[in-house]
Structure 1
Amino acid sequence: MTLLIVGATGTLGRQVTRRALDQGYEVRCLVRSQKRAAFLKEWGAQLVSGNLLDPETLDDALEGVTAVIDAATARATDSLSNKKIDWEGKLNLVAAMQRASIDRYVFFSILDSEKFPDVPLMNIKCCFEKYLAESDLKYTILRPAGFMQGLIGQYAIPILEGQSVWLTGQTAPIAFMDTIDIAKFAVRALEVSDTERQSFPVVGTRAWGAQDIIKLCERCSDKTAKVTTVPLGLVRGLGKFLRFFQWSWNIADRLAFTEVMATGRELNASMDEVYQTFDLDVGEMSTLEDYMQEYFSRILKKLKEVEMAQAKQKKKKKKKKTDRTYPKF
């Protein structure tokens, strides 16, 4: 089976690529920049240049492909809007798949997207889910709540560097999952016919609130976090202001996620039936405790090595200086 993976250079897409290759699939990655995606080629994937907004490039990329796993989504720093990439781009992709007679499609949405029509990206994901339901595709929709990888920049690094962790007044607990584990579900879906034309939550073993994550990071790093609380109204106001400028629309859309946090409701779902359907073992999935412990252990070890190297270099320089100051006779 030949897979086309879209969004393969992203946080989730690269893990899907790695998993598919490890499982023996022939993997082709649609990329906008061959240079940026060079690491995927080193892993063994074939790179094809293309763009979701350029339909002609999709026809070439899909030639000989059996199934598509789509992990593409607009980043906050992208010049193109969520609507362009996550709606128009997806419609182009599906149309190209239909022209190529490819009907197996794995799509990543967001858990509870239907409950937040005022959050642009979640509304687009919800609308595209409905579009798929009306199509003839053998789709599988996976609905993560959040990636553990995203917590590194939000919590772990600021705590390590003694910087502030920024929070809004109220936060909703979220069942974060490691993208390595989410990738297992994506690739496994291709092997399980019961996943076709179905939607599944893909979430971690428990939901974590912001304060719980901070305490976990403090315990793993042996450091005390500096927490700065930002009024929700201020974040909302900033989001509205950024919508005046096209270059900042994606940032404004990300700030709209504060509306999810403001509800205080858990972003979580039962995974019992999901594990049974996919025939995967929950015991093989990472917990947030294990993920953070491994991250901090690795980083703290690296920092210690750097400090030792700097101390050694400083001692060496001091010795050279002493030898020059006090020559031997």
Structure 2
Amino acid sequence: MNLLIVGATGTLGRQITRRALDEGYQVRCLVRSFKKAAFLREWGAELVVGNLCVPETLTPALEGIDAVIDAATTRATDSLNIKQVDWEGNVNLIQAAKAADVKRFIFFSILDAEKYPHVPLMEVKHCTELFLAESGLNYTILRPCGFLQGLIGQYAIPVLENQSVWVMGDTSPTAYMDTQDVAKFAIQALKVPETDNKTFPIVGSRAWGAYEIIRLCERLSGRDAKVTRMPLGLMRTVRRITRFFQWTWNISDRLAFAEVVSTGKPLTAPMDDVYTVFGLDPNETTTLEAYMQDYFSRILKKLKELDYEKSKGKSKQKNDKKRTYPRF
């Protein structure tokens, strides 16, 4: 099967690409820059330059493609906004895939997207779900709610570096999942007919609150966290300010999404039936505890090695000075 993966340079997209290649699929990646995507070519993927917002670049990218996995989304630092990429761009891709007679279309949305119409990214994801369902394509919609990889910069590194860990309001407990495990579901959906034209939550084993994660990081690192609470009102004020300037619209839209995780309502869903349909073993899914344990074990070992090398270097300098400047 020939796959086109969109969003392949992102945190999730690169894991999907790696998984697909490991399982023997012929993988083509739609990228905006060969330079930034060079690592994908080294892995064995074919690269084709294209842009979701330039429809004429999609037709050649889809030539000979059997299935599309769409993990594209805009970033806060992108020049294009959520409406342009996550709505107009994905609509362009769906229409081009339909015209190219693509057999399967896997789309990544967000858990509970329909419940937050006032949040731009959630509204756009939900509208895209509806558009895809009505397109006539054979689709599967996967709805994660958070990735374990994002917790390193948000919690682990600040704790290790004695920096502030920012917590907003009554942060919603979230069922984070490792992107490698999310990628398993994406590739498995291509093989399981029972996933055709259906929508599934793809979430971790349990929902974790911010303070639970902070306490775990403290225990694993042996260091105390500096927690700083950001009032929800302040975040809303910042969002209103960023709406005044076109170049900060993406930041404003992302701040709106932050309100979703500051409501206190858990972001999670039952997964027993999902694992059964996909034929995957839940015991093989990485837990948040195991992920953090592995991270801190590796980073603390590295820090000890660096301290040892530093101490060894100082000792050598001291000995050299003794030889250079002998006492009489």
Partner residue, 1:87: 87
Are 1:159 and 2:159 matched, yes or no?
A: yes
Aligned-pair distance for 1:276?
A: 0.6
Partner residue, 1:174: 174
Q: Name the CA distance, whole Å, in 2 between partners of 1:39 and 1:327.
A: 57
Find the residue that maps to 2:11 and give its secondary structure: coil
Aligned-pair distance for 1:223?
A: 0.8
Q: Summarize deviations over 1:164-189 as a string: whole Å, max 9, x none.
A: 00111211100000000000000000
Q: What is the aligned residue count?
A: 328
Partner residue, 1:306: 306
Q: Name the CA distance, whole Å, in 1 between partners of 2:262 and 2:327.
A: 70
Q: CA contact under 8 A between 1:103 and 1:136: conserved in structure 2?
A: no
Root mean square deviation of aligned Cα: 1.2
Aligned-pair distance for 1:259?
A: 2.0
Residues 168-247 of structure 1: matches in 2 within 5 Å? 168-247=168-247
Q: CA contact under 8 A between 1:232 and 1:258: conserved in structure 2?
A: no
Aligned-pair distance for 1:262?
A: 3.0
Partner residue, 1:47: 47
Q: Name the CA distance, whole Å, in 2 between partners of 1:97 and 1:154.
A: 37
Find the residue that maps to 1:200 and give its secondary structure: strand
Q: Name the CA distance, whole Å, in 1 between partners of 2:96 and 2:143.
A: 24
Q: Name the CA distance, whole Å, in 2 between partners of 1:7 and 1:316.
A: 49
Partner residue, 2:61: 61
Amino acid across the alignment from 2:263: T
Partner residue, 1:37: 37
Q: CA contact under 8 A between 2:143 and 2:202: conserved in structure 1?
A: yes
- The structure-2 alpha-carbon separation of the partners of 1:327 and 1:96, relative to structure 1 and needing over 3 Å to count, comes to farther
Identity across aligned pairs (percent)? Answer: 64
Partner residue, 1:114: 114
Find the residue that maps to 1:314 and give its secondary structure: helix
Q: Name the CA distance, whole Å, in 1 between partners of 2:249 and 2:318.
A: 53
Aligned-pair distance for 1:314?
A: 2.0
Q: Summarize deviations over 1:45-71 as a string: whole Å, max 9, x none.
A: 111111111112211111111100011
Amino acid across the alignment from 2:173: P
Q: Summarize deviations over 1:192-217 as a string: whole Å, max 9, x none.
A: 11111100000000000001010111
Q: CA contact under 8 A between 1:53 and 1:92: conserved in structure 2?
A: yes
Aligned-pair distance for 1:253?
A: 1.3
Q: Name the CA distance, whole Å, in 1 between partners of 2:322 and 2:20.
A: 58
Amino acid across the alignment from 1:131: F
Amino acid across the alignment from 1:317: Q
Structure 1 unaligned runs (5+)? none
Q: Name the CA distance, whole Å, in 2 between partners of 1:262 and 1:28.
A: 38
Find the residue that maps to 1:316 and give its secondary structure: helix
Find the residue that maps to 1:9 and give its secondary structure: coil
Aligned-pair distance for 1:327?
A: 8.3
Q: Name the CA distance, whole Å, in 2 between partners of 1:290 and 1:85.
A: 34
Q: Name the CA distance, whole Å, in 2 between partners of 1:243 and 1:154.
A: 24
Q: CA contact under 8 A between 2:169 and 2:263: conserved in structure 1?
A: no
Q: TM-score, normalised by structure 2?
A: 0.98
Partner residue, 1:253: 253
Partner residue, 1:140: 140
Amino acid across the alignment from 2:36: R
Q: Name the CA distance, whole Å, in 2 between partners of 1:60 and 1:319.
A: 66
Are 1:281 and 2:281 matched, yes or no?
A: yes
Q: CA contact under 8 A between 1:172 and 1:263: conserved in structure 2?
A: yes
Q: Summarize deviations over 1:133-152 as a string: whole Å, max 9, x none.
A: 21101110000010011111
Structure 2 unaligned runs (5+)? none
Aligned-pair distance for 1:326?
A: 2.2
Q: Name the CA distance, whole Å, in 2 between partners of 1:57 and 1:316.
A: 60
Q: CA contact under 8 A between 2:275 and 2:281: conserved in structure 1?
A: yes
Q: CA contact under 8 A between 1:201 and 1:271: conserved in structure 2?
A: yes
Are 1:74 and 2:74 matched, yes or no?
A: yes
Q: Name the CA distance, whole Å, in 2 between partners of 1:273 and 1:73.
A: 28
Q: Which runs of 4+ in 1 moved over 6 A?
A: none
Q: CA contact under 8 A between 2:202 and 2:271: conserved in structure 1?
A: yes
